[in-house]
């Protein structure tokens, strides 16, 4: 498909139920408007939730996803549905964070991707998970993710 051809999207502009489980099938892609340029796309999900696989209690995170598209970009509504489908999914923090990154790699084949999972405390200790595909290409402006270390109240 060329960048000029429209992509058939199943979620955008339609009432779409929340998927019951995360699946790469939920994610959709659209052609990059600038496939020859290196630019960073950032998605921030400050209220990400999943369930602890041991206790089934809710876990909360602030996710930041940065990637440099090649031919494809993720369609944002499909990403929102995909991320929100984790709310009833039982998995450890590490599995959630890394699997999201790997699913985006499988879908998009971007030039580069990183994900930061800034998880709120479980058992009194916050757990932060970071994953990326390699070194950032030269001459790319990549801001810090800007998520402060967990401090508790105050």
Residue-wise pLDDT tens digits, 64-114: 999 999 999 999 999 999 999 999 999 999 999 999 999 999 999 999 999
Could you confirm whether 96 is annotated as catalytic?
A: no
In a domain, 149, yes or no: no
Whether residue 142 lies inside any domain: the answer is no
The set of residues, in sequence order, having a beta carbon less than 8 Å from that of 132 and lying 6+ positions away, is 101, 112, 113, 114, 115
Which one from 4, 37, 52, 96 is the annotated catalytic residue? Answer: 52
* Domain that includes residue 59, residue range: 35-132
CATH, residue 107 = 3.30.1130.10
Catalytic residue among 59, 66, 96, 103: 59
Q: For a pLDDT cut of 70, what percent of the chain falls above it? A: 94
Q: What is this structure's pTM?
A: 0.90
> Catalytic residue at 59?
yes
Domain-embedded: residue 95: yes
């Amino acid at each position: 498909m060329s960048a000029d051809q429209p992509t058939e999207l199943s979620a955008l502009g339609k009432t779409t139920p929340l998927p019951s489980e995360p699946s790469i099938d939920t994610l959709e892609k659209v052609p990059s408007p600038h496939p020859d340029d290196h630019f960073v796309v950032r998605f921030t999900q400050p209220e990400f939730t999943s369930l602890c696989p041991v206790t089934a209690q809710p876990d909360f995170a602030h996710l930041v996803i940065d990637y440099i598209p090649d031919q494809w970009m993720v369609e944002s509504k499909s990403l929102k549905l995909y991320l929100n489908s984790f709310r009833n999914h039982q998995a450890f923090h590490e599995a959630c964070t890394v699997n999201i990154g790997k699913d985006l790699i499988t879908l998009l084949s971007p030039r580069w991707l990183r994900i930061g999972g800034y998880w709120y405390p479980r058992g009194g200790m916050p757990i932060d998970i970071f994953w990326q595909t390699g070194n950032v290409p030269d001459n790319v402006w990549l801001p810090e993710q800007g998520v402060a270390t967990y401090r508790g109240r105050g």
